Each structure stands twice: as C-alpha cells, then as structure tokens.
Chains A and B, each alone.
Chain A
C-alpha cells in the first residue's frame, strides 16, 4: 500500500522542468527506490513529477570520442546496447548483477545516481570512467564530474529544480582495462557489501592512468585517489599493486551494518582491489603476474 501522493505527468521535458521549478516536488523515474521508500515511511502528501513520457531522456549515443546515455536509460538498456561492452565494460558487468530482471527493466541511471546511496551500483563503473553528469533546469544546463556530484550520504549536488538528463564519458581507448566486481551476501539481487570498479591504461610497461572507484565503503561512492596516484607512472608489480590496494583500504570509511563489519569491508577492499588491479594490469599491459 502506497500512501496517497500527487502525480504530475508532464508530456515534455520543458513542462517537467517548469513543474520542478514550482517547488516541493521530486522526479519519479523507475520508482524502484522511491516507491519502496514511500511505502516504508508511509508519509502522505508528496508531489512527484513523472518522467515516464519523456522519451528524450532515454537513448544511448556512441561517437568516437564520447558516449552519452540519457538519464532515464534503464539497466536493461545498458545490457541491450551492443556497443556498451567496449564503451564501458565495467558498466556492463555491473548491469549483469544489478538487482533482478524486472528491476533492471525499470531502474534508471539517473535514479540510481541521484538517490545518493553509497551502494548505488551504477556509480563505481561510471566513476572509473571519469563520467560527467548533465543537469538541466528552467535556469539552464550544467555539467559536472560525477565525483563532484556526490556530496555525502544520500546527498548530491542536484538542486530540487534540476533533472539529471545525461551521463557521458570518453570511451576507453583500446587496451584499456575496465573491470567491476560486486561483493554481496548472495550472488543474485543483493545489496552491495563492497563494490569495486577499476580502470588501468598502460603504455608499454608503464601505467599511465588508474582509477579505483569504491562503493559501500564510505558515505559516498568515491575514488581512492591515494592508491591511484601510487600507480601512475609505475610498472605494476605484485608489490606495487598490493601496496596500492592496501592504500585504497585505508582510504575507506566503512561502517558496521547488518551485512558486514567495517573491518571486513576494509579487508575485502584490499583483496578485491588487488585482484582487479592484477587482472586489469595483465589486460592493459600484457604482462602476466603469476606470483
């Protein structure tokens, strides 16, 4: 049973923005977080602006230098896109283990990002790809880096009158490794205990770019920049990788909750970052580490 609320169904983006600008309302996309929340707290009287009719908010565009997906792109849309495995490998890996099929058909990237949860699975892969988000309101449009967009636990830089209309990034160059792993308490449809996305670019035997994005281990999804910096310019030996992974674990601020303790999360970050970096380095540099 949902509590009573007001639902406005704008036929166009302009209409939607006008409604948002009028205040005291929130956008409703797939509803896969919003509706369970409404049901749980039972507070009547919300006003929601439905984005269902706004087809322009869906669609994934690929060009040589940029990939852009509309805010209402669903997780299933990501899985259906034949170019996504090259354009964002970690995003596809994530989509494969995101919730269950029906939720994937409804949940949107904008909804997942703007909910601001540190366990939002969409975020680590996008962060590992230096994604940017586009926010639109009646006052205009702005684009900012996803890492600047995430402010705090369930707090983003989206103003109440803004819609997140697009997420974009530069597709990784050939040879880039971009990996994702989700650690949960079961294999299917689980809330993430630790989420890790890494990107490694190598030129010859040197790492020229590293991104380590971590979910569920801090108030927001974040990049372990200390660990990243330790890798740039290096040839990644097992020792370098392990040190970086340990550093990433130190940079976390995990909590104890019903799913796991902070201590375990740190350990898992260490292990998973080490593992993903090792695999990524192997792919990116062609060097095999058997030790």
Chain B
C-alpha cells in the first residue's frame, strides 16, 4: 500500500491521529460475535408472517384473482390484492428519499391490478400465524392469466409497432450530449474505430435477502424496521398507503449488503399494508428466489463507440450510442441512464462529442440501482475502446490514454470544470507496475495484462439539492454521542462518523457511540447511495463535531487563561499544547461548559453544491459535485483449449482523497475486485421471454473463495476531495474499472477483444476458433 501526496495538497492532514489509520471499526465486534441484529432477526409478541405471490407471467391480463380459499385457511389473518388498496395506490420509485414527480411513468402499482408486466410482479400479500401457513395460503390463491404479447428486447421495444409496456411509448428516458463539432472532429481524424459493447444483467446478490418488520404503535404511528439503504423512504411509504408523513417511522438495521438493491423500496410498503390491515406486527424475510424478483438487477446496456483519432492517439471525435433495458417499470432508469451518459467518455477530455442515450421499457425484470449505476457499464465500453484504438494504431494503450486524460481545470463531457485532482495516470501506472513480470505462457494458457481507468461521480445529482444532517454531543460525563440517520450497509458508514468525531474531539473512536438509521429520532442524513455517505454525513458530522470542539475549547481556554489555538484535544482530555500537564478531562470540561450555559452539542447541516439541470439539447450543465479517479489492473490466464479464464492478480489503485479508515478503504477495493470479476466472467441473469432462468445461487454464480485471485489495494491520497479532510467517495468508483480491466486482460492474452460480457469459456473458444479460421 502506498501513499502519494500531490505537491499542492494540504499539509493539514499530517497530524491526524485516527483518520487514515486502519483502526477497528465500531461495527466489527457485534458482527463477528454474532450479536449484530438484522431486520429479519427482530421479533415481537403476536407477530404475523408475510408471504408474497409473484406473477408467473411476463405479460398478461389478470382475468381473475380469487383469494377466497386463501382467506379461509386457518391461521391466515389477511390477504390483500390491488382491489383492497386505495385507488391512488402506486409506489413512487423516484429519487429515493425524495418525493415529487421528477420523471415520467415513475409510478409502479404496489400490487398488480388488471395486468402484469413482468414475471415476478407482486399480485397478492398474505399475513398468517406462521410462514408455513402463509406459504400454504399463497398456493390457494387462484389466478387466471390471459397472456398478451410482450416485448423482451430494447431494440424490439423501440421499433415501430412494438407492444407498449406502459404509458404512451416504450421510451423511459433519453439524453443528448452535443459538444463541439462532431463532423469537423471526424474529418480531422486519421482513423475511425467503431465497436459495440454489451453488458448483461447483474444481480446484487447481497447475502441478506430483503427483510423487514412493521407494526402500528400506541401512537398510531406505523413503524417499520427494515434492511434498507434509505431511511427517508418513510415518505414514499406514507404516500403509497395514504398516511401522513409524520406518522410513518422507518428504522434501518444493519444491512446485510445493499449495493443499490435496497435503495428503492423493496418490501416496506407490503408490510405496512399488512400491518395496517391486521393491526398486528408483520415480518417478512424474502426467500432468495423471490428476492431475485423483488428489487431489480443492473441494467443491461448496449453501447456503440465511434471514435476518431489522430495517428498519435489523440481523440478528435467521439460518437456514442447507449441503450439500456429498463424492464417493466421505470424505477431509477432515467437516472441510471444519465449517469451512464455522463460516464460514457471516461476520464478523458473530448471536445467534439455526440452522445445519444435511451432507456427502453420491456416486459423484463424492472432494472434498478447497482453499484456504479450506469457509469460502470459505460466505462467498460470506453476502456475497451481505448484498447481497440491502441491496437489499431499500433500504440501502447496507456500512451493513448495519456494523450487524452482529462486534467484538473478541464471541462468534462457536460462542460463541468473538474476541480479536484485527476490522478488517473499515476493510479494506472502503479496498478500496472504492481502486476510485476508477466509469467510465461504455457502450451495451453496465455497470460494477459489489462488495465482500465474511470471517472465516477460521488455525491448525488446536483439538482437534487442534497443535504445531510448530523448531531454530535458530549454527555455530562464526557462520553461522546453521534446521531445520524445514515444507514449502515456494510462499508463502515456509521463507524466513519465515530472515527471523524473521535478525531475532532480527541476521543478514541471505539468510545464514540453512534445512533444511526432512525427516521424519527436521528437527524436525516440522506441515502447510502451514490457514494455519498462519507462525503455528506462525514462532512455534517465533522461540522457538528468541530462546533462542539470550538465551544469546549473556548470554555477551557477561558479557564486556563490561554488562547484557543494553544489548546488541543486528545485521549479524552483538553490540554495545552506547550504544557500538556495543564489539562482537564472532557468530563471536567463539559461540567464547566454546563455551568456557563455553553452547548456541548451541535446539529449541523451539510449542503452539497447545487445546479438547475442540464440543457436538454446539449446535455451541458453541472451534474455532480465531483468525481473520483483511479484504475484497476488485472493479470489473467486464459486456457485456450477450454476458454476458461482465471484471474491471477487483481489490483486497484485509487485516489481516495483522504482515507478515513484505511482498512475500510482497502476492504472496498478488495470486495469490488471480486464483484467486478463476477461481472466480467461468471455472473449473468438469464431471462427467456421475461422469465428468469437463473433464480438461485446455484445458477447465478458469484465468485467463491476458490475463485479469489491475489488482490491488492494501492491507496493514493490527493486530499482534494469535497468530503471530510479532503476525502472523495469510493464505494462505486473502486468498482468502476474492474470488469473492464479483466476484459482488457483477456484481450491481451488472446489477441482479440470480446465485446460481450460475461466472458464465458464458450465465448473465448468461439473467438479463438474464428481467429484460427480467419488466419
């Protein structure tokens, strides 16, 4: 692991005591001791168990839904279908946490009423005395489907005469970027390279399936405790079921993996309805096969790049077409398409640019958020195209990249000036170097090295007017509390707040208690999505802690008769820097403050930079707060007889701005290395006429322990990010280049690029045989 400080980086971070260190995370002990509580672990007296009936047809009218026999079954408390729900019912799956229509066709029925649009669409809900009775009740529900023509491919969906999935047409969203003069750019090119890349459905495959418990309490407040990434969903739950927002309380437990799959509401509304109807607590843990149908996988993309380059590798023109499969309901497809559009050019400066992107509705599974959110898929095409360009020009691909890297101060694809460090080159160079010497090929294996860079945003779209709140306080005995509704989905979201607060107030982070994830009682922090939790909640926490520090030091300074600048905090003490014997405990300090009526706590609101949107014709505008840059390098061995690909080394090098917890940062790089490997090689949801063929972990293959390569994380710190201490968001950025680096490594090994993910042994064999036939 190495660190490089850029010449202009602030030296203020060098005296950090806890920030940047690989300290034990506050959530580690309960998780390791098995005492950590997840939503499905919660029980209440008189609790009922829910089960959901999902559609078995992809496109059909519902002629009859008869729940009579289910309702009669002993032990069944309620069976709900669409006709039991308020007429206005619909789940707004718009920007998570916010309400108010932002895009068209964002309402998905809570339960299918007259027709189903995808195989898996929820039709009925049951609450019963036991899981067994609930499952039995499901089998007693009678449904008459009348199949109707469906459409299962975005290209077909956009063709004239295609069956319309919902609304007026199958265009869920579209964007245009027009920058410079594309025709002039192509005219200036010495060479034009065109390729089409496709990526597949990817299932989030979090180990914890969707789980939640809902009940109505003694104040007529609907309570939900859920495995969710967004506490602010209480608003959407309230709207969906017709309750006032202030009577819905959503609490997020430790989330056993989210990756975006728990970013929109999954089961919360169903449980809310059952709890209201039965007046009993109701719990659901989705069986894995139904989990596959309950949240929405990654959007498949088809991406065409047409690139004009000079003979020395400079891009003169870039024309990109992107098409994604939105599935049967819009959900977050418009936003994912926007991210893909902005991420399509990668970390390169392109002055003559034309991008046309469209997301089409089909009768497939409604796709949704997954780490990378469109940018990752777009990056695969961009980085594959870099390799193809280099090959066509007979140049090293890093040389082509260097000719085109965007730099701090340049305008990016949407005309936004990049203000933070762009260390793509350093990261890529270090990652590649760390692969070391290339081992020799054998008779049947070819070794390949590949690299990929990226530009991934962190923080939400600016016109969301994002903000995050945090409360920090010191108790009367000197112990420290943080309150934030941030959701902890496994990346150390809550622990980071303890570490930041501990740093500012001079208290070991393990002694800071963080209350998190409660929509009623902790200050709202916003979503744990868009690689924003550290950026937003970290800043809010730092602001609040800093204010508390100022208050405490002010009081102590008066007491000691010194200037505030002469004091510091550490080891739960306030002390004079030049004379550490002159000190008081935090306990003593707060009592002094209390005596003087000085606040020992503070609620801070951090506001992200805003903008008003992009130009609909040119796509120009400031879209995101900032971007993270880095690279991933892979070493693969390809068996040229069977086509099997083995990843031997997987190395991520990223400028994280400032690591808050070094272990957590490296852990993100390591985890994303394996998840990206799965996307590159073995993971694929297969749908046939909308019906899922790969509905369990036997068919849907995530990498196992036996698939793990040698993984390394190289962490660079420019301290130029907008997050606390100059940090940048990293959860998605570290994932962005992985699959591309593996695809590029395979291309290096066998001499021909495979443009379609996943790179299966069969595809490798196919291109090798074609290559052989051609020669």
Residues of A within 8 A of B (CB): 1, 4, 42, 97, 100, 183, 185-191, 193, 258, 260-261, 264, 267-268, 271-272, 274-275
Asked whether A186 and B701 contact (CB < 8 A) given A258-B694, A260-B762, A264-B762, the answer is yes
- Residues in chain B near residue A186, CB distance under 8 A: 681-682, 701, 703-704, 706-707
Asked whether A188 and B694 contact (CB < 8 A) given A183-B642, A264-B762, the answer is no
Report which of B703, B704, B760, B765 forms a contact with A267, defined as CB distance below 8 A.
B765
11 contacts between A and B (CB under 8 A): A1-B131, A1-B132, A187-B646, A189-B704, A189-B706, A258-B686, A260-B760, A260-B761, A260-B762, A264-B765, A275-B444
B333 nearest CB across to chain A (Å) = 26
- Residues in chain B near residue A100, CB distance under 8 A: 704
Name B703-719 residues within 8 Å CB distance of A: 703-707
The answer to whether B642 and A187 have CB atoms under 8 Å apart is: no
B460 nearest CB across to chain A (Å) = 35
Which of B698, B699, B701 has the largest count of A CB atoms less than 10 A from its CB?
B701
The answer to whether B686 and A188 have CB atoms under 8 Å apart is: no
Report which of B287, B698, B761 forms a contact with A183, defined as CB distance below 8 A.
B761
A191 nearest CB across to chain B (Å) = 6
A152 nearest CB across to chain B (Å) = 23
With the chains together, A191 CA to B704 CA distance in Å?
A: 13
The answer to whether A271 and B641 have CB atoms under 8 Å apart is: yes
With the chains together, A186 CA to B700 CA distance in Å?
A: 10
The answer to whether A191 and B698 have CB atoms under 8 Å apart is: yes
B169 nearest CB across to chain A (Å) = 32
Determine if B693 is an interface residue (Cβ-Cβ < 8 Å).
Answer: yes
Majority secondary structure, A binding face: loop
Determine if B644 is an interface residue (Cβ-Cβ < 8 Å).
Answer: yes
Determine if B139 is an interface residue (Cβ-Cβ < 8 Å).
Answer: yes
A225 nearest CB across to chain B (Å) = 24
The answer to whether A42 and B139 have CB atoms under 8 Å apart is: yes
With the chains together, A17 CA to B642 CA distance in Å?
A: 45
With the chains together, A188 CA to B641 CA distance in Å?
A: 20
Determine if B56 is an interface residue (Cβ-Cβ < 8 Å).
Answer: no
Question: What are the interface flags for B480-494 relative to A under an 8 Å C-beta threshold, 1 for contact and 0 otherwise?
Answer: 000000000000000
A18 nearest CB across to chain B (Å) = 31
- Residues in chain B near residue A4, CB distance under 8 A: 132
Determine if B190 is an interface residue (Cβ-Cβ < 8 Å).
Answer: no
- Residues in chain A near residue B135, CB distance under 8 A: 1, 42
The answer to whether B761 and A188 have CB atoms under 8 Å apart is: no
The answer to whether B641 and A275 have CB atoms under 8 Å apart is: yes
- Residues in chain A near residue B760, CB distance under 8 A: 185, 260
Total of A-B residue pairs, C-beta within 8 Å: 62
The answer to whether A264 and B761 have CB atoms under 8 Å apart is: yes
Majority secondary structure, B binding face: loop
- Residues in chain A near residue B643, CB distance under 8 A: 264
Question: What are the interface flags for B628-656 relative to A under an 8 Å C-beta threshold, 1 for contact and 0 otherwise?
Answer: 00000000000001111010000000000
Instruction: Please provide the 10 A-B residue pairs with the shortest distance between their CB atoms, ordered closest to farther.
Output: A188-B706, A188-B704, A271-B641, A264-B762, A187-B706, A186-B682, A186-B701, A187-B707, A258-B693, A258-B686
- Residues in chain B near residue A189, CB distance under 8 A: 704, 706
- Residues in chain A near residue B132, CB distance under 8 A: 1, 4
- Residues in chain A near residue B693, CB distance under 8 A: 258
The answer to whether A272 and B705 have CB atoms under 8 Å apart is: no
- Residues in chain A near residue B707, CB distance under 8 A: 186-188
Measured CB to CB, the nearest residue on chain A to B51 is A1
With the chains together, A66 CA to B290 CA distance in Å?
A: 49
With the chains together, A188 CA to B646 CA distance in Å?
A: 12
With the chains together, A193 CA to B686 CA distance in Å?
A: 17
Measured CB to CB, the nearest residue on chain A to B694 is A258
B176 nearest CB across to chain A (Å) = 37
- Residues in chain A near residue B762, CB distance under 8 A: 260-261, 264
- Residues in chain B near residue A188, CB distance under 8 A: 703-707
Known: A1-B131, A258-B694, A260-B760. 10 other contacts (CB 8 A): A100-B704, A185-B760, A186-B682, A186-B707, A187-B704, A258-B686, A260-B761, A264-B762, A268-B761, A271-B642
Measured CB to CB, the nearest residue on chain A to B695 is A40
The answer to whether A185 and B705 have CB atoms under 8 Å apart is: no
- Residues in chain A near residue B646, CB distance under 8 A: 187
With the chains together, A261 CA to B706 CA distance in Å?
A: 25
With the chains together, A189 CA to B707 CA distance in Å?
A: 10
- Residues in chain B near residue A274, CB distance under 8 A: 641
- Residues in chain B near residue A264, CB distance under 8 A: 643, 761-762, 765-766
With the chains together, A272 CA to B641 CA distance in Å?
A: 8
The answer to whether B704 and A268 have CB atoms under 8 Å apart is: no
- Residues in chain B near residue A190, CB distance under 8 A: 701
With the chains together, A148 CA to B641 CA distance in Å?
A: 32
- Residues in chain A near residue B131, CB distance under 8 A: 1
Measured CB to CB, the nearest residue on chain A to B139 is A42
- Residues in chain A near residue B444, CB distance under 8 A: 275
Name B723-775 residues within 8 Å CB distance of A: 760-762, 765-766
Measured CB to CB, the nearest residue on chain A to B760 is A185
The answer to whether A183 and B644 have CB atoms under 8 Å apart is: yes
B441 nearest CB across to chain A (Å) = 15
- Residues in chain A near residue B761, CB distance under 8 A: 183, 185, 193, 260, 264, 268
